[in-house]
């Protein structure tokens, strides 16, 4: 009788909490898909494949990494926006996916169609310059740019990218004019950066590390609040005299809107646990990336603050959609 009473009480509790609680009670009951909006080998793919084994172990069901590149990452996001809100179809996204809808039409609304789970990681950008320029600090950069207006070209991986917007934010903040030279990827910009045809770029530390090590470019400042272990001798923008300047290429996990809160919270806890594992933290650090593991509400607020910041930069710089 006591067992029957406990069972009845449990069923009543689930009914009172609604269908979401019932789904969460048995979650997960089958494999989970992590959609990655880029091809294998990129930053998002690496992050997904780092945390997936830990979630597989802890949740008791396989977490499958499913690469769905194309359309600037919107294919994967559209799939998840239309998926059942049950926690079995998720998407890894980046800062770039907050920017893209500000400039282009999409089949989803990032803030209506998704439930933020957690910001997983963040990687610093670094401002680098052609080493033959008489620039060794941010203050020297600003002085040179003001004394030689319109002569500094900056490379980016394309129009409307985080690289472009981060550089435009810097230019507005310090009061200089820079000339944008877009490429189809940061790697395609390397020959011109090495020859001095473009004199600067603001890109991820991991991408620029080979050029920095070979002294093909000179690092001036990183864009995180604290210095990065990959470039411990390079000051932050804040240290260099640009208050509040923080830009990161970050990665986060989204579920479809309407996913039961207990499921979202469970996923967040397991992401946070995975990021604390030494093998995960050390692999991220090797790429200059830091694990974050923020709770859902904080991640939602962060995404909104990112949208506001980049929307303002787009207006100030007069950047149009493609």
pLDDT of residue 43: 87
Q: Is residue 16 predicted with pLDDT exceeding 70? A: no
Place of tokens 């579920």: 255
Question: Span 13-122+249-317: which CATH code?
Answer: 3.40.190.150
Same topology between domain 13-122+249-317 and domain 124-222: yes
pLDDT digits (tens, 9 = 90+) for 108-132: 999 999 999 999 999 999 999 999 9
The tokens describing 204, both together, are 């991820």
Lowest mean pLDDT segment, chosen from 13-22, 55-64, 312-321:
13-22
Q: Is the dihedral of CA 270, 96, 131, 144 positive or negative?
A: negative
Q: Is residue 10 predicted with pLDDT exceeding 90? A: no
pLDDT of residue 82: 97
Question: Span 124-222: which CATH code?
Answer: 3.40.190.10
The model's pTM: 0.89
Q: Is the dihedral of CA 305, 204, 186, 299 positive or negative?
A: negative
pLDDT digits (tens, 9 = 90+) for 21-70: 556 678 999 999 999 999 998 889 999 999 999 999 999 999 999 999 99
| Domains in the chain: boundaries | 13-122+249-317, 124-222
- Please tell me the distance from the alpha carbon of residue 300 to that of residue 115, in angstroms, as a whole number: 8
Please tell me what DSSP assigns to residue 8.
H
pLDDT of residue 287: 84
Q: Is residue 268 predicted with pLDDT exceeding 90? A: yes
Which residue in 142, 103, 152 sits closest to 318, CA to CA?
103
Evaluate whether 205 touches 198 at the Cβ level (below 8 Å): no
What is the mean pLDDT of the segment spanning 207-212?
A: 94
- Please tell me the distance from the alpha carbon of residue 158 to that of residue 314, in angstroms, as a whole number: 14
Instruction: Tell me which H or E stretch contains 249.
Output: strand 248-256
**Which residues have CB under 8 Å from 50's CB, separation 6+?**
274, 280, 283, 284
pLDDT of residue 23: 61
pLDDT-derived band of residue 322, with 50, 70 and 90 as boundaries? very low
């Amino acid at each position: 009788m006591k067992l029957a009473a406990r069972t009845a009480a449990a069923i009543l509790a689930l009914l009172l909490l609604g269908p979401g609680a019932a789904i969460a009670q048995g979650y997960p009951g089958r494999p989970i898909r992590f959609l990655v909006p880029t091809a294998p080998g990129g930053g998002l793919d690496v992050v997904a494949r780092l945390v997936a084994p830990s979630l597989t172990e802890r949740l008791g069901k396989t977490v499958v990494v499913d690469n769905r590149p194309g359309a600037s990452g919107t294919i994967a996001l559209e799939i998840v926006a239309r998926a059942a809100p049950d926690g079995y179809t998720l998407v890894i996204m980046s800062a770039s996916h907050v920017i893209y809808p500000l400039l282009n039409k999409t089949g989803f609304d990032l803030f209506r169609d998704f439930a933020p789970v957690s910001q997983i990681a963040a990687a610093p950008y670094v401002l680098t310059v052609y080493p033959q320029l008489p620039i060794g600090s941010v203050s020297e950069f600003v002085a040179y740019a003001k004394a030689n207006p319109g002569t500094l070209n900056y490379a980016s991986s394309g129009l409307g990218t985080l690289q472009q917007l981060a550089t435009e934010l810097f230019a507005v903040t310090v009061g200089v004019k820079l000339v944008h030279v877009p490429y189809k990827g940061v790697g395609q910009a390397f020959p011109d950066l090495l020859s001095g045809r473009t004199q600067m770029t603001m890109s991820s530390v991991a991408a620029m590390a080979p050029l920095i090590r070979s002294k093909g470019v000179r690092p001036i400042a990183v864009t995180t609040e604290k210095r990065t272990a990959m470039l411990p001798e390079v000051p932050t923008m804040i240290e260099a005299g640009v208050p509040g300047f923080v830009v990161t290429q970050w990665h986060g996990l989204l579920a479809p809107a309407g996913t039961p809160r207990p499921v979202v919270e469970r996923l967040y806890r397991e992401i946070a646990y995975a990021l604390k594992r030494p093998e995960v933290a050390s692999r991220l650090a090797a790429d200059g990336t830091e694990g974050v593991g923020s709770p859902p509400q904080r991640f939602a607020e962060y995404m909104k603050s990112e949208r506001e910041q980049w929307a303002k930069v787009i207006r100030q710089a007069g950047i149009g959609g493609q």
